[in-house]
Every structure is written in C-alpha cells, then in structure tokens.
Structure 1
Amino acid sequence: MDWGLIEQKLESLRRAVSRVAENCPEEVPDLVRDYDAQDIVSLNLTRAVQLCVDIANHVLSESDLPSPVTMGQSFELLEELGVIGPELCVRMKKAVGFRNLAVHNYDVIDWAIVHAIARHHLGDFKAFAEAVLLLRG
C-alpha cells in the first residue's frame, strides 16, 4: 500500500475538517446568513467525504474484494474487511449522501443539517482516519 499517498490524503482530510470546524458559526441562523461560511463549510465537508472515499478505494485496491460500484459501497467493503465498524460505516454512507446533495443540488441544501454535521459529526472523519492508520501497524 502506498502509505505516502494515504498520509497525504489524510493530511488533506485533516485540513478540510479543520476548515469546517473553524468556519462554522455557533448557531444555524448565522450559517444561513453567512454565504462565505456556507461556501467554506460545504466545500470542505464535500472534500472530506471525497478524500475518505479515495482513501477507502486505495485500501480496497489491495484487497481481493470487487471494486465498489458506489461511493457508499466503498465503506461497506471496508466494513467487510474489518477496517471500520458497522456504526462508522453507516455514518460514512450518510456523509456520502450529504456530499451527493451538496454537489448536485446545492440550491436545496438544508443548512440546519450542514450545521449539525459540522458541529456534531466531524469526529466521524477522525475515526475513519484512525481506523485506516491502524492498518499501517
């Protein structure tokens, strides 16, 4: 496995999550009014999800499992390999759902949901990174 590449992606993930944490206002109405914060938070959340998918697929490329057909399936296959647990798998698949909405239907984003992700679920990305690093030994 190319750990240099994985570490580079993990550092990009750390930066994206940090940007979300630093730029998400304390309250939902503040996010609704702040278009710059909306852009920074949504862009970096979608980056974080995409980086996790990329990392998952890199890990999966070293396995005998078939290639995932969907982004969400990348996490299901990691669960099958025992890299992540079932709860984290579900949360990462929900993150993919958010990413798809943000990328394809930006005009209908529910900023309360984005706020909840940014304020209460950034730990999912850290948990994912820690699970991947455990593979290194």
Structure 2
Amino acid sequence: MDTLILQEKLEALRRCVRRIEERRADSAGELGKDLDRQDIVTLNLTRAVQLCVDMAVHVIAESEQMAPQTMGEAFEGLAKLGLISEALSLRMKAAVGFRNIAIHQYQSIDWDIVHAITWKGLEDFRNFARAMATLTDNGPNTSV
C-alpha cells in the first residue's frame, strides 16, 4: 500500500476539518444567513467525506476484498477488515448521503443539520483519520 497517498489525504482531511472549525457558526440561524460561511463549510464537509472515501477505496484495493460498488460500501469494507467500527461505518455512510445532497441538491440543504455536523460530527472524521493513520508510518497518533 502506498502510505504516502494516505498521508497526503490525511493532511488534506486535517485542513478541511480545521477550516470547518474556523468557519462554523454558533447557531444554525447564523449559518442559514451567511452565504459565504455556508459555502466554506459545505465545501470542506464534502471534501472531507470524499477524502475519507478515497482512503477507504485505496485501503480496500490492497486487500483481498471485492471493490466497493458504492461510496458507502467502502466504509462497510473497512469495517469488515476491522479497521473501523460498524458504528463509524454507518455514520460515514450517512456522511456520504450528506455529500450527495450537498453536491447534487445544494438548495435543499438543511442548515440545522449542517450546523449539528460542524459541532458534533467532526469527531467521526477524527476517528476515521486515526484508523487510517495506523496504516502509515506516522502511526495512530496522527491527529486531525
């Protein structure tokens, strides 16, 4: 497995999470009124999800598992390999659903949900990053 690819994607994920933390709003109402903040947060959330999918697919490609047919299946594959928990797999699959809405149906985004993700959902990205970091030379202490 090319650990350099994982390290680069982990660094990009770190930047996305940091940017979300810098620009998240104190309330959903505040987020709903600030178009620039909406764009920055949504873009970085969708990027973070995509980076996690990319890492999952990269890891699975090096295993004996069948290639995932969907983005969500990539997280199921990591759970089957014992690299992430089933619970984290389910939450990451839900994040893919958010990504799809954000990319394909931007006008129908529920800013209350986005606000909650920016305050409560970032830990999922951190947990995912820790799991991927165990596969690199940097080990599990690589933080996001």
Range class of TM-score, shorter chain: over 0.9
Kept after mapping to 2: 8 A contact 1:48/1:125? yes
Task: Look up the match of 1:40.
Answer: 40
TM-score (norm. length: structure 2):
0.93
Q: CA RMSD in A?
A: 0.8
SS in 2 for 1:30: helix
Task: Look up the match of 2:113.
Answer: 113
Task: Look up the match of 1:10.
Answer: 10
For 2:99 and 2:18, the matched residues in 1 are separated by: 17
For 2:34 and 2:135, the matched residues in 1 are separated by: 40
Deviation string 1:43-82 (CA, Å, 9 cap, x unpaired) is 0000000000000000011001110000000000100000
Kept after mapping to 1: 8 A contact 2:72/2:92? yes
Task: Look up the match of 1:124.
Answer: 124
For 2:133 and 2:39, the matched residues in 1 are separated by: 30
Q: How far apart are 1:132 and its partner, in Å?
A: 1.1
Kept after mapping to 2: 8 A contact 1:92/1:124? yes
Tell me whether 1:57 sits opposite 2:48 in the alignment. no
Matched to 1:132, the amino acid is M
Deviation string 1:14-46 (CA, Å, 9 cap, x unpaired) is 000111111011111100000000000000000
For 2:46 and 2:106, the matched residues in 1 are separated by: 11
Kept after mapping to 1: 8 A contact 2:75/2:93? yes
Matched to 1:115, the amino acid is H
Matched to 2:24, the amino acid is C
For 1:3 and 1:80, the matched residues in 2 are separated by: 20
SS in 2 for 1:121: helix
Identity, in percent, stands at 54
Task: Look up the match of 2:103.
Answer: 103
Kept after mapping to 2: 8 A contact 1:83/1:135? no
Unpaired runs of at least 5, structure 2? 140-144
Tell me whether 1:78 sits opposite 2:96 in the alignment. no
Q: How far apart are 1:135 and its partner, in Å?
A: 2.7
Matched to 1:106, the amino acid is Y
Unpaired runs of at least 5, structure 1? none
